[in-house]
């Protein structure tokens, strides 16, 4: 059996998340269905990150096993002909037997986009959180800097079983102003369900003056759960990193 790796991108608007679910359209479900039809054998796809409904990806990574000898460059072309317009393959390669898209990854990079224009934009509505207000990016960056490193991020999670390990390492965080909004980049070993959107929710409140700068760090110390979750359309999985 060959172990093949795909780097894919998708517009998450019409998907009920990445993970396969009965009766609804998901990235994993669509990709497995097309691969099974092309390869003529049941195909199970493993994803590096299980993005939620409405969340996008520019650099999601998946792997699957097949006995078929189809060249990777040909597979990319055939897949892109059959896949819908909101899901495409960027590249394909053969990897070692031990490679696992999820467990071999050393970090994931997510980007959250906030659009602060006065009026809604047709071109931004699917890919940004429309928040028509001024945000203090310096205060947001300071607050984010205080929660970098290894912490128990359970306060920034949803629907996580009590017995699950919720300690994660947030390697990098950057808040930067753009021409018409704010972008927030987060890189971590892995993310809990809802973690990025809950962190962004707190940062937005800091930037709006609704919370003090030390509120996110204090939340981790007191373990008080975050409740303000940013909407999904502003979130995008940018890259999954692996050791060479």
pLDDT tens per residue, range 117-143:
999 999 999 999 999 999 999 999 999
Give the closest residue to 203 by CA, choosing from 195, 215, 219, 194. Answer: 215
Give the closest residue to 151 by CA, choosing from 105, 104, 217. Answer: 217
pLDDT tens per residue, range 183-220:
999 999 999 999 999 999 999 999 999 999 999 999 99
Residue with tokens 């990709």: 31
Phi and psi angles of residue 163, each rounded to the nearest 5 degrees, phi first = -85, -10
> Known catalytic residue: 202?
no
Is residue 18 very low, low, confident or very high in pLDDT (cuts 50, 70, 90)? very high
Q: Identify the structural domains of the chain with CATH numbers, from first to last.
A: 2-95 (3.30.70.580), 107-242 (3.30.70.660)
Give the closest residue to 228 by CA, choosing from 201, 200, 199. Answer: 201
Catalytic residue selected from 11, 52, 152, 214 = 52
Sequence length of the chain is 244
Alpha-carbon span 137 to 141, nearest angstrom: 6
Alpha-carbon span 78 to 8, nearest angstrom: 14
Assess whether pLDDT exceeds 90 at residue 13.
yes
224: helix, strand or coil: coil
């Amino acid at each position: 059996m060959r172990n093949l790796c795909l780097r894919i991108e998708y517009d998450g608007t019409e998907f009920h998340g990445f993970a396969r679910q009965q009766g609804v359209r998901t990235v994993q479900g669509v990709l497995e269905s097309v691969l099974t039809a092309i390869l003529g054998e049941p195909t199970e796809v493993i994803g590096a990150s299980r993005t939620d409904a409405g969340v996008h990806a520019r650099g999601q990574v998946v792997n699957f096993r097949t006995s078929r000898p189809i060249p990777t460059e040909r597979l990319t072309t055939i897949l892109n002909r059959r896949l819908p317009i909101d899901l495409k393959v960027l590249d394909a390669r053969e990897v070692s037997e031990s490679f696992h898209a999820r467990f071999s990854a050393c970090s994931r990079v997510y980007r959250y986009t906030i659009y602060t224009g006065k009026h809604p934009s047709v071109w931004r509505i699917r890919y940004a959180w429309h928040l028509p207000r001024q945000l203090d990016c310096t205060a947001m960056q300071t607050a984010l800097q205080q929660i970098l490193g290894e912490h128990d991020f359970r306060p920034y999670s949803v629907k996580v079983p009590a017995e699950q390990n919720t300690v994660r390492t947030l390697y990098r965080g950057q808040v930067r102003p753009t021409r018409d909004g704010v972008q927030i980049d987060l890189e971590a070993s892995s993310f809990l369900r809802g973690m990025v959107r809950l962190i962004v929710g707190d940062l937005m409140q800091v930037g709006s003056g609704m919370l003090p700068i030390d509120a996110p760090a204090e939340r981790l110390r007191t373990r008080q759960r975050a409740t303000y979750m940013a909407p999904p359309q502003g979130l995008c999985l940018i890259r999954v990193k692996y050791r060479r």
